């Protein structure tokens, strides 16, 4: 069974750094992209970007470029998103999701989702 299990809730102060994880299982990790989606409290879904573990190719939304960094550890089939200096506006639920493959390595709709990691940034 394909599963994406995310790390637990985080409460941080502005200016602190953070890395949250998405532990995958049940499939060949390097063969599928992993995407990240933000949902601020009471708001809709925002596409943050996507990373291909096979070659670390990454596409960021312009809204998140320079604000977050995606990475993977292929040895343990895990994906990460990290912040170097959190802001209060980073308070949100963050989801990882695995897209289907349309053809070759082209990603499609998000097929499998993690349960989400709630990040709260407050002084």
Partner 1 sequence: DIQMTQSPSTLSASVGDRVTITCRSSQSVNDRLAWYQQRPGKAPKNLIYKASSLKSGVPSRFSGSGSGTEFSLTINSLQPDDFATYYCQQYNDYPWTFGQGTKVETK
Contact present, 83 and 17 (Cβ < 8 Å): yes
- Binders of partner 1 in range 54-93 (CB under 8 A): 59-63
- Tell me how crowded residue 58 is: count the other CB atoms within 10 A of its CB: 15
Q: Which residues contact 103 (CB under 8 A, 6 or more apart)?
A: none
CB of 1 to partner 1, least distance (A): 13
CB of 122 to partner 1, least distance (A): 21
For residue 10, give the nearest of 101, 113, 90 by alpha carbon. Answer: 90
- Binders of partner 1 in range 15-54 (CB under 8 A): 35, 37, 44-47, 49-50
Contacts with partner 1 by CB under 8 A: the residue count is 27
Distance CA 45, CA 109 (A): 14
CB of 16 to partner 1, least distance (A): 26
Written as six digits, the tokens of 42 are: 């009471």
> Mask: binding to partner 1, 96-115, rule CB under 8 A, as x and -?
-x-xx-x----xxxxx-xxx
**Centroid of chain to Cα 8:** 13
Cβ-based nearer residue to partner 1, 75 or 116: 116
Where does this chain bind partner 1 (CB under 8 A)?
35, 37, 44-47, 49-50, 59-63, 95, 97, 99-100, 102, 107-111, 113-116
């Amino acid at each position: 069974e394909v599963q994406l299990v995310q790390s637990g809730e985080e409460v941080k102060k502005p200016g602190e750094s953070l890395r949250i994880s998405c532990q995958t299982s049940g499939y060949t990790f390097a063969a599928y992209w992993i995407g990240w989606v933000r949902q601020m409290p009471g708001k809709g879904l925002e596409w943050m970007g996507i990373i291909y573990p096979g070659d670390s190719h990454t596409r960021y939304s312009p809204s998140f470029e320079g604000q977050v960094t995606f990475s993977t550890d292929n040895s343990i089939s895990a994906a990460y998103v990290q912040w170097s200096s959190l802001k209060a506006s980073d308070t949100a639920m963050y989801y990882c999701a695995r897209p289907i493959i349309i053809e070759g390595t082209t990603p499609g709709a998000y097929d499998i989702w993690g349960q989400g990691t709630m990040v709260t940034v407050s002084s």
